[in-house]
Amino acid sequence: MHIVGTAGHVDHGKSALIAALTGTNPDRLLEEQVRGMTLDLGFAHLRFDDGVEAGIVDVPGHERFLHNMLAGAAGMELLLLAVDAREGVMPQTLDHLAILQFLNVRRALVALTKIDLIDASERDAIRDAIRQRLQGTIAASAPFYAVSSVSGEGLGELKGVLHDELAALPQRNINAPVYLPIDRAFTLQGLGTVVTGTLMQGRIAAGETLMLEPGGKPAHVRSIGVFDATRPDVAAGARVALSLPNLDRAEIARGQAIVGSELTARRSFAVRFVPLQNALPLIQRRTPVRAYVGSAEIMGTLVIADGNGGPHEVRAQLHLREPAVVFPGLRFVLRRPSPMTLLGGGYVEGVDVAPSAEQGDSSEEAVLAVLRGRPTEPVELGAVASAANLRESTARDTLERLVDRGDAIRVARPAAYVDSAAAGALLERMLTTLEASHQQEPWAIGMTSIVLARTLSIPEAALVRIAEHFVEDGRLINRGGYYATTSHQPSLTSEQRAFFEYLAPIAEGQPLLPIPFAGAATAVKLSHLAGVSKAFDTMLAEGAFVKVGDDLYRGAQIAQIRARLEAHFERHDRMTAAEFRDLLGTSRKYAVPLLEWLDTHGTTVRDGDFRRLRKKGASSLP
Ligand SMILES: Nc1nc2c(ncn2[C@@H]2O[C@H](COP(=O)(O)OP(=O)(O)OP(=O)(O)O)[C@@H](O)[C@H]2O)c(=O)[nH]1
Ligand SMILES: [Mg+2]
């Protein structure tokens, strides 16, 4: 048996096509059927009279469920790419193809779906446009089949091609140790715990005892199901359900694997990594990553080896926060922790890396004990070394290893270390506090470190250093000194908005005239309107108000001023203060502070009595 996998943009007809080809609706969840959208992996059985058969893995197209797509993608051998004939190649189509290039797909077919909805005369042009967009992807030379799951057009031909392609695929390695990444686990009356997955290599016979990894628990296989049938044994390439009555459903989750005794889970291993060209700027010597291995998604660090090969494939080590089953040749995909940009992928080269890291050595124990003793206090290298009774060089190596594996975090200025679990617990407390505060004061941008530290009873300096680590990780926001959750968008009440409208009216005939900042600040202070002072800070932080010298402008006025400046510099390469004043239609009193503000905010540069436009990229605009 082999695995056919779908890919393609949301709503492009993947699930409908699988249902039409097999008679099974892969959208098995009620919510999927109600919403008409695939959320998680779906499965169907494709069977031919002559015994050729395939398991089909149907994936969600929506980018929010890309992690689910990734959990099923590793098993795919024959790719069925669905492209809606009306929409053509869309972002998720390309994302899926970028991911699949690192995995095990051997052949790709393009299904041009919903062909009933386009005019026959348009077909050739649409086909050409799609072919063009697929250049450089693994579907670049894939044959096209125009199909309609509604009228049935083209389904017979596609099915025939699937048959021939499946029959021609090479057999998977059945002599290798069993590796079955788990994608579902549930309990069935009479069978107990059942796991399902794609058997990637090896063969399994009923009655055999395998291992659940990570976890190291023996897994006694009582029976084997392949779709609706029970089988005495099964070989690589099949969709498999194993009944494992000795295991508790609660101790199994997607991401674990059922394996032969030869394989174990590890947290550190050597890899060959192929970065995506457009992700190169994001990849440093040590890069935090979200790794997809088998059906698992695990945070970790990619460490590029010294003197590695060329730019297309580099030697590196992958350190994971949780162990995963790995063996040489196993493929993986890496994304950024946040935003989840695809970084690249590769394969495992060797698993005998850093044996001390595997066994847990005494220096690690000692260092972790020091860090855990000071859960909310970053500890510097020297202090770690003396408290752990280690040479500084040993302490440094150990700390690096712990950071790579995610057991410790490094904070900056000056570099110091915190136990990961303690830092994670502090992050949770920060997020809970921030959420409550956002709920209570939705108009505020967030909480200052002083208030946050006081609420959590932690010294402010320590809080800031740990918080900044999570800001860099993308799990916390710092806007101008105010901390917020990543989802917080400040919103003013209608009364507050009305107050500011009234506070800063646009002068008749003088649309670029500011108001005095001091007057505005006093009006805010004297107002009895709830939350108005924090709302004022929000307006300033968001650029809805801009303080220039002693004046207060609206953001829209500043945008107008910039537009006029740009228009001026399109025709001239320099400008005097008097010209600028005329440009504004106000007076010198306002023009001079504005020019100084524009200088410091990177729009203009001073050149004697003149201003010039600062070159693009020389400084970023506020
Ligand atoms: N007219 C027509 N409609 C179709 C065809 N195939 C699918 N549809 C409709 O298109 C919509 C989306 O189809 P799905 O099969 O759910 O799309 P999908 O690619 O599985 O979507 P996700 O799983 O959410 O990514 C549904 O309303 C289908 O009824 C087709 O061949 N012709
Ligand atoms: Mg679907």
Cα–Cα distance for residue pair 465/50, rounded to 1 Å: 66
Residue nearest to atom 30 of ligand 1 (CA): 114
CA dihedral 279, 284, 289, 292 (to 10 degrees): 60
Atom of ligand 1 nearest to the CA of 26: 20
pLDDT at 617 > cutoff 60: no
Task: Supply the mean pLDDT for the chain.
Answer: 90
Q: Is 139 or 619 the better-scoring residue by pLDDT?
A: 139
Residue nearest to atom 8 of ligand 1 (CA): 13
pLDDT at 67 > cutoff 90: yes
pLDDT at 357 > cutoff 50: no
Digit-coded pLDDT (tens) for 319-345: 998 899 998 889 999 999 888 899 999
CA of 36 to the centre of ligand 2 (A): 8
Q: Provide mean pLDDT across the span 403-420.
A: 90
Torsions phi, psi for 537 (to 5 deg): -60, -40
Q: Provide mean pLDDT across the span 205-223.
A: 95
CA of 15 to the centre of ligand 1 (A): 7
Instruction: Single out the residue of 557, 562, 532 nearest to residue 547, CA to CA.
Output: 557
| Three-state helix/strand/coil letters over 472-537 | HHCCCEEECCEEECCCCCCCCCHHHHHHHHHHCCCECCECCCCEEHHHHHHHHHHCCCCCHHHHHH
Contact, 185 vs 250, CB < 8 A? no
CA of 37 to the centre of ligand 2 (A): 5
CA of 149 to the centre of ligand 1 (A): 8
CA of 258 to the centre of ligand 2 (A): 27
Residue nearest to atom 23 of ligand 1 (CA): 38
Cα–Cα distance for residue pair 292/104, rounded to 1 Å: 14
pLDDT at 611 > cutoff 70: yes
CA of 109 to the centre of ligand 1 (A): 18
Length of the chain: 622
Residue nearest to atom 6 of ligand 1 (CA): 13
| Three-state helix/strand/coil letters over 35-86 | HCCCCCCEEEEEECCCCCEEEEEECCCCHHHHHHHHHHHCCCCEEEEEEECC
Q: Provide mean pLDDT across the span 193-218.
A: 95
Residue 319, token pair as written in the block = 């350190």
Digit-coded pLDDT (tens) for 451-510: 999 999 999 999 999 999 999 888 899 988 899 998 898 999 999 999 998 888 777 777
pLDDT at 621 > cutoff 60: no
Q: Is 166 or 264 the better-scoring residue by pLDDT?
A: 166
Cα–Cα distance for residue pair 538/500, rounded to 1 Å: 12
CA of 332 to the centre of ligand 2 (A): 24
C-alpha 348 chain-centroid distance: 22
Residue nearest to atom 1 of ligand 1 (CA): 114
Q: Residue 378, exposed/middle/buried by CB under 10 A (0-12, 13-18, 19+)?
A: buried
3-class SS of residue 309: coil
**Least confident segment among 32-36, 160-164, 341-345:** 32-36
Q: Point out the ligand nearest to the CA of residue 19.
A: 1
Q: Provide mean pLDDT across the span 561-574.
A: 90
CA of 122 to the centre of ligand 1 (A): 20
pLDDT, residue 317, reads 92
Residue with tokens 């506070």: 503
Which pLDDT band holds residue 257 (cuts at 50, 70, 90)? very high
Atom of ligand 1 nearest to the CA of 59: 23
Q: What residues does 79 pair with on adjacent strands?
A: 5, 108
Residue nearest to atom 11 of ligand 1 (CA): 11
Which pLDDT band holds residue 606 (cuts at 50, 70, 90)? confident
pLDDT at 622 > cutoff 80: no
Q: Point out the ligand nearest to the CA of residue 28.
A: 2
Q: Which residues surround ligand 1 with Cβ inside 6 Å? A: 8, 10-16, 36-38, 60-62, 82, 113-114, 116-117, 148-150
**Least confident segment among 10-24, 242-256, 304-318, 499-513:** 304-318
Torsions phi, psi for 274 (to 5 deg): -110, 105
Q: Point out the ligand nearest to the CA of residue 11.
A: 1
Atom of ligand 1 nearest to the CA of 147: 31
Digit-coded pLDDT (tens) for 77-123: 999 999 999 999 998 999 999 999 999 999 999 999 999 999 999 99
pLDDT, residue 352, reads 60
Residue nearest to atom 14 of ligand 1 (CA): 13
Residue nearest to atom 7 of ligand 1 (CA): 13
Q: Which residues surround ligand 2, an ion (CB under 5 A)?
A: 14-15, 38
Q: What residues does 271 pair with on adjacent strands?
A: 316, 348
pLDDT at 307 > cutoff 50: yes
pLDDT at 146 > cutoff 80: yes
Instruction: Single out the residue of 282, 321, 566, 301 nearest to residue 420, CA to CA.
Output: 321
CA of 92 to the centre of ligand 1 (A): 15
CA of 56 to the centre of ligand 2 (A): 12
Residue nearest to atom 29 of ligand 1 (CA): 16
CA of 7 to the centre of ligand 2 (A): 9
Contact, 495 vs 481, CB < 8 A? no
Q: Point out the ligand nearest to the CA of residue 17.
A: 1
Instruction: Single out the residue of 367, 451, 450, 455 nearest to residue 410, CA to CA.
Output: 367
pLDDT at 54 > cutoff 70: yes
**Least confident segment among 51-65, 85-99, 248-262, 468-482:** 468-482
Which pLDDT band holds residue 513 (cuts at 50, 70, 90)? confident
Digit-coded pLDDT (tens) for 432-457: 999 999 999 999 999 999 999 999 99
Percentage of residues of the chain with pLDDT beyond 70: 96
pLDDT, residue 620, reads 39
Residues near 53 by beta carbon (within 8 Å), at least 6 away in sequence: 1, 45, 46, 47, 166
Q: What residues does 219 pair with on adjacent strands?
A: 210
pLDDT, residue 609, reads 85
pLDDT at 310 > cutoff 70: no
Percentage of residues of the chain with pLDDT beyond 90: 66
Cα–Cα distance for residue pair 332/272, rounded to 1 Å: 10
pLDDT, residue 309, reads 57
11, 24, 151, best to mutate for ligand 1 pocket (most atoms within 8 Å of CB): 11
Cα–Cα distance for residue pair 612/604, rounded to 1 Å: 6
Cα–Cα distance for residue pair 418/368, rounded to 1 Å: 9
**Least confident segment among 44-48, 187-191, 317-321, 463-467:** 187-191
Contact, 85 vs 13, CB < 8 A? no
